[in-house]
Chain A
Amino acid sequence: MSIKSENINLSYNNEEILKNLSLEIKQGEIVTLLGPNGAGKSSLLNIISGDTDANSGLVYYNNKDINKLTIQERAFIRSVMAQSQPIVFDFNVREIVEMGWLDRGNIKHANQFDRAIKMILNDCDIASLEFRKFNTLSGGEQRRVHFARTLLQLWRESKSDEPRYLMLDEPTANLDLSHQVKMMKLIKKLSNEGVGILLILHDLNLAFKYSDKIAILKNGNMVSYGKPKDIVLSNILDDVYELPLNVQLSENRIIINYV
């Protein structure tokens, strides 16, 4: 089972944004999109998540054409965290997280409601903020709350073979160092439980440390795709970022400096 996009093309006002892109996210795999601003990363993620339509090309969730799935069916398969909008009313943190809960008409699942929320609040390190007003939180804290909501949407009582996917557009933006690492560890843990994950990151070190596959976009083309080590060895990064990068490659670590 996987999420697949095939031959995606997208253009705005005669400007090509994505050129014939194909990408597959398998269960239990972390695929990261890298590339400079305006490369088309978010556009591709939005098409794969079903938010926007491509001009041509197809997206499949578990071998089913996404256009044949209702938005409710899509919500059961994948959850998405993208740039968030301001929230007008004074919801508290718990209420925002609760919005991620999908009722499945399944009493056994419904009875897990409180336990699921408690676990996720702890995992995301926001248990102490549970009854704070969302709008009084810092940017990084708000980000973690939205992340918790995204996780709740995919929550299962125990290990589940049901294919689930997580799509995160710059999840670590605004987070302090320790929370960036905590979030990436949580993402890794989910992938070990079988969740397929599509990420957009700007931090090369985080990307190369945690990803199973990396896709590098530039000007709407996929210039490279593969395992982190292979990408580093191909020496393509300097060209993509137009910056001399200093890569240290040891046995199971990749460190990239750019000063």
Chain B
Amino acid sequence: MSNNISFIFNSKYLSKSQSALLIIIFIILIGSLLFAFSFGSYNFSILSLIDGSNSLIENTVFYEIRVPRVILAGLVGASLAVSGSCLQGLFRNPLADPGLIGVSAGAALGASLIIVFGSSIASKFILSTFLLPLFACLGSAVVIMLLFLLTKGFGHQGVTYMLLVGIAINAIASVGIGILTFISSDSELRSLTFWTMGSFGGVTWPLLIPAIIIILFSFIFLIPVLRNLDILQLGESEAKRLGVNVQKLKYRIIITSATSVGASVALSGMIGFIGLVVPHLVRLLGGVNHTYVVIGSALMGSSLMIFADLLSRILIQPAELPVGLITSAIGSPFFLWLIFRINKI
């Protein structure tokens, strides 16, 4: 049908100031990338890479350790912020966050299952490249489906209801992870602890490239439905009257959130609050329509995460702070502020 074309990204739903803001956030992202490329616990001039006067070890540090790490941080920040903003839109709930409502925990449980039981069924390479992300995605999809059932098809049930359900799901997942921790071997235990802390260290290109592809694809898959997410805010039956296929929209958001959160958690563990803080900052800056909020969240989530990771790398050298600690330190007071603000309304 020809009029389907129209539902694809359409700049007329962005105001001029919103377009300008998106450009500014994009420039900040480029800046933070350059900044993060230049600093780290191993000090050398980034300019030497350009004129070729650097040593082999500097090359390795830069291309094999620092660049993939920074890219992963950006990617994970973007995918958590995007799925946060989309889930907030889908649930019509400003407090929905992949961490708070248990989606990340579901992914971590899926990943933990593979760490503990996977070694008996597949080789190490297949395991970490394919099975781990796959099970992480499945874990988050199961949680979103569970939320779907418990909230009667995402019906509007009040802001707190979903948070309570999220607490319960988080608890269930941590029981699962706890049991797995108990029966795991020493080396498995070390990997498991990693999921609960969150880190971008140790990523390599063969692990990173599939994640880049998965996450970028899920973003592209999202763009055509951003306007429908706006219309959904009028209520489900109203959206249907306006010609929105609500069922399809739900599935699309569930699939993209599950895959992007799953892929992120598989590579970096659980990192909280980015999905909550970033969309709200973006809304405070320039408005609430999803074409702007989701794209803005992708850009801002990515630069915020790159900065958080940079902090974790350089604050207490040569040791490293868990990045999840930094995002929670920023995010939890913000969460409290948000709760009080919503109560006032």
Contact = CB atoms under 8 A, between A and B. Distances in A.
A88 B94 contact: yes
Contacts of B93: 88
Interface in A79-94: 79-80, 82, 84-85, 87-92
A72 to B, nearest CB: 4
B13 A98 contact: yes
B55 interface: no
Which of A51, A82, A85, A104 is packed against the most chain B CB atoms within 10 Å? A85
A110 B6 contact: yes
B235 A84 contact: yes
A100 interface: yes
Which of A89, A102, A153 is packed against the most chain B CB atoms within 10 Å? A89
Interface string B268-293: 00000000000000010001110000
Nearest to A99: B231
Interface residues of B, number: 32
Nearest to B231: A99
Contacts of A96: 234
Contact of A105 (B4, B233, B289): B4
Contact of B3 (A50, A72, A91): A72
Interface in A54-71: 71
Contacts of B231: 99
A155 to B, nearest CB: 13
Contacts of B283: 89-90
A75 B242 contact: yes
A88 B232 CA distance: 11
B92 to A, nearest CB: 5
B288 A89 contact: yes
Given A88-B94, A89-B94, A103-B10, A71 B240 contact: yes
Contacts of B245: 71-72
A258 B59 CA distance: 90
Interface in A1-30: none
A113 interface: yes
B275 to A, nearest CB: 16
Contacts of B237: 51, 82
B188 interface: no
A85 B243 contact: no
Nearest to A133: B288
Interface string A113-132: 10000000000000000000
Contacts of B1: 72, 105
Given A85-B234, A88-B94, A89-B94, A51 B10 contact: no
B42 interface: no
B12 interface: yes
B43 to A, nearest CB: 45
A72 B245 CA distance: 8
Contact of B289 (A95, A103, A113): A95
Nearest to A110: B6
Contacts of A73: 243
A45 B230 CA distance: 25
B241 A85 contact: no
Given A71-B244, A89-B283, A105 B3 contact: yes
Contacts of A113: 12
Interface in B82-102: 92-94
A50 B240 CA distance: 9
Which of B7, B13, B238 is packed against the most chain A CB atoms within 10 Å? B238
B243 A91 contact: no
A153 B242 CA distance: 8
A182 interface: no
Nearest to A103: B6
B166 to A, nearest CB: 17
A95 B230 contact: yes
B2 interface: yes
Contacts of B7: 103
Contacts of A179: none
A49 interface: yes
B126 interface: no
Nearest to B12: A113
Contacts of A99: 230-231, 234, 242
Contacts of B230: 91, 95, 99
Which of B5, B242, B243, B289 is packed against the most chain A CB atoms within 10 Å? B242
A21 to B, nearest CB: 21
A76 interface: yes
A72 B243 contact: yes
B156 interface: yes
Contacts of A82: 237-238
Nearest to B13: A98
Contact of A80 (B4, B5, B241): B241
A96 B156 CA distance: 19
A110 B3 CA distance: 11
A134 to B, nearest CB: 10
B5 A88 contact: no
Closest 9 CB pairs of A and B: A103-B6, A75-B243, A85-B235, A105-B3, A105-B2, A72-B243, A89-B288, A80-B241, A88-B92
15 contacts: A49-B241, A72-B1, A76-B243, A79-B241, A87-B233, A88-B93, A88-B233, A89-B283, A95-B230, A98-B13, A102-B3, A103-B3, A103-B10, A104-B3, A105-B3
Given A49-B241, A82-B237, A95-B288, 4 more contacts: A95-B287, A98-B13, A103-B3, A103-B7
